[in-house]
Amino acid sequence: MSAAKTETEAVHARPELLQVADVVARDKGIEKEEVFEAMEQAIQKAGRSKYGHEHDIRAVIDRTSGEISLARYLEVVEEIENEATQLTLDSARRRKEDARLGEFLVDPLSPIDFGRIAAQTAKQVIVQKVREAERHRQFHEYKDRIGEIVNGLVKRIEFGNVVVDLGRGEALLRRDECIPREHFSNGDRVRAYIMDVREEPRGPQIFLSRSHPQFMAKLFAQEVPEIYDGIIEIMAVARDPGSRAKIAVLSHDSGIDPVGPCIGMRGSRVQAVVGELQGEKIDIIQWSPDIATFVVNGLAPAEVAKVIVDEETKRIEVVMPDEQLSLAIGRRGQNVRLASQLSGWDIDIMTEAEESEKRQEEFHARSQMFIDALDVDDVIAHLLVTEGFTSSEEVAFVPLDDLTLIEGFDEAVADELRNRARNFLEARDAEMSQKRVDLGVTDEVAAIEALKPTMLVALGENGVKTLDDLADLASDELLEIVPNSGLDMESANEIIMGARAHWFEGEEAPAEEPAEDAEGAEAAAETAATEETV
């Protein structure tokens, strides 16, 4: 009998399974336990094919001997819903005296002789599970590596998209993330930036990029030790992939120039990056906290004559000599576009003649505005404009001393100008208030303190007449309707949120009393009335 038992154990023992698990785990870079679980699921599937898919059949592989155990599991329940996987407590206790609800009774099954079809099915299950485990491992390995540069080999090309073998995983370099006009063939070595790693229905995907601005920044960090060590910091990057790029750098050591180390001896460092980027021309610019200085540096090699900064709209006007205009704009506007991306500001470029003409037009327009509003002659209007006044509001509420500082203005003239400006504003506001009423803009909208009469008229002319109309606007839409109103994005948000406040009124109000409480109150009232009558 012992000999028979030994022979049976020899049949059940499968040391080759242990070897297969070792090889697969090592080759795929996944845990051996995950390979064993995939094998167990494959054997379970084959077992259900033989004994019936309705049964709860489970397989266990001994991790030391490779022995396969196959068994059917029956759950002990009070009421049977599935006869194939459940049995009652009474039936269970006839088989096992101390059986309890929720327990599983195990019926050992004889080993399976895998036929060709069963073996093929088991192989497919194992391959699928191993691939899932491999993708899971790949996702967790690369999800924290976003922003790194990796090297790989081109595995295949699908509709212009490049599938890159990273050694321990595959990544996708989409056609629109490649540098224009660069071509890859199978087996080519490629270096790229990990742009994103995310779970998708077909499994985790690693997305690479060679056109991303940070790809160039990371390349410089690899080539320039001062950047890697943090002595020099890359503050901004703007790229037109494959053509031209600008990179702004800042030195944290006052004794080190930030531009020189990035260029390297005879341009060796910058040329190494240029070579990787298919000859992309790179302008290395010194970053400055002063936006005017930074924009002037960004427009290099063009020379700037004058800069006018408008901080409210984040727009900057750059005046160039006529001979520098084409250089500042660049081919197809490339130079100014990259400088705008680098700084985050809108840049308007004009010649000195254009700037002079624009200033003359603005000067005459503002002068005429003061002539009409304050009923003054052109001399006084010109003086106000020259001193920097741009609106009647400024004249009306400026301290008296500021006006008397203007040459030729005594206290009486200054006081008269302020009074005329205030009278003009009162008359205009009254006119605008009546126009607002005629347009149908409600008093609730007019009650919003931040909205001036002229702004209310602009809202009415654009069909915004009620609190609901105003509440439906986005902040940028409100700013488009009332341009040059002095509102910024934060103020616009506050106005719109204030208009939406009535939507939420009453949400915190207490719920109505329960019916029984109401009935009780009614009964108490009747009792009180009876007592009063008595």
Contacts of 387 (CB under 8 A, 6+ apart): 406
What type of residue is 185? S
Give the pLDDT score at 248. 94
300 to 283, 316, 342, 469: CA distances (angstroms): 8, 16, 13, 48
Q: Please choose, from the candidates 255, 200, 264, 212, the residue with its C-alpha nearest in 3D space to the C-alpha of residue 237.
A: 212
What type of residue is 504? F
Output b/e per residue, 260-289; b: 16+ Cβ within 10 A. ebbbeeeeebbebbbebbeebebbbbbbbe
Q: Token pair for residue 180?
A: 């224009």
CB 208 within 8 A of CB 193: yes
Q: Please choose, from the candidates 382, 373, 383, the residue with its C-alpha nearest in 3D space to the C-alpha of residue 403.
A: 383
* 2-136 CATH choice from 2.130.10.10, 3.40.50.11290, 3.30.1480.10, 3.90.1150.10: 3.30.1480.10
Q: Which residue has the tokens 């099954």?
A: 109
Q: DSSP 3-state assignment of 113?
A: coil
Hey, where are the domains in the chain?
Answer: 2-136, 146-209, 440-534
Q: Can you state the angle between helices 15-28 and 116-142, rounded to 10 degrees?
A: 40
Q: Can you state the angle between helices 334-343 and 291-298, rounded to 10 degrees?
A: 150
Q: Token pair for residue 369?
A: 């505005």
157 to 149, 161, 189, 367, 525: CA distances (angstroms): 20, 6, 13, 66, 86
- Topology alike, domains 2-136 and 440-534: no
67 to 52, 114, 356: CA distances (angstroms): 23, 15, 92
**Which helix (H) or strand (E) segment is 200 a member of?**
strand 189-200
Q: Which residues pair with 161 in a beta bridge?
A: 158
The superfamily in CATH containing domain 440-534 is 5' to 3' exonuclease, C-terminal subdomain (1.10.150.20)
User: For residue 339, how many other CB atoms are within 10 A of its CB?
Assistant: 28
Give the pLDDT score at 328. 86
* Pairing of β 170-173 and β 68-77: unpaired
Alpha-carbon dihedral of residues 188, 222, 214, 186, nearest 10 degrees?
0
| DSSP class per residue in 1-42 | -HHHHHHHHHHH--HHHHHHHHHHHHHHT--HHHHHHHHHHH
Kindly tell me the burial class for residue 211, based on how many C-beta atoms sit within 10 Å of its own C-beta (0-12, 13-18, 19 or more).
buried
Render each residue's pLDDT in the chain as its tens digit; 534 residues: 333 333 333 334 556 777 777 777 777 667 778 777 877 877 787 778 777 788 888 888 888 877 778 888 888 888 888 878 888 888 888 887 788 888 888 888 877 665 555 556 556 666 776 777 777 777 777 888 888 999 999 999 988 899 998 887 788 999 999 998 888 889 899 999 999 888 776 666 889 999 999 999 999 999 999 998 999 999 999 999 989 999 999 999 888 889 999 998 988 999 999 999 988 999 999 999 999 999 998 888 888 888 888 887 788 988 888 888 888 888 888 889 999 999 989 998 888 888 888 888 888 888 888 888 888 888 888 888 888 888 888 888 888 778 888 877 888 888 888 888 888 888 888 888 888 888 888 888 888 888 888 888 888 888 888 888 888 888 888 888 888 777 778 888 888 888 888 887 655 534 444 444 444 444 444 444 444 433
Q: DSSP 3-state assignment of 221?
A: helix
Q: Where are the beta strands (DSSP E) in 44-101?
A: 57-61, 68-77, 86-88
| DSSP class per residue in 397-414 | HS-HHHHHTSTT--HHHH
Alpha-carbon dihedral of residues 184, 186, 190, 194, nearest 10 degrees?
100
Give the pLDDT score at 217. 92
CB 68 within 8 A of CB 59: yes
Q: Token pair for residue 306?
A: 């004058």
Give the pLDDT score at 10. 36
Its CATH architecture, for the domain 146-209, is: Beta Barrel (2.40)
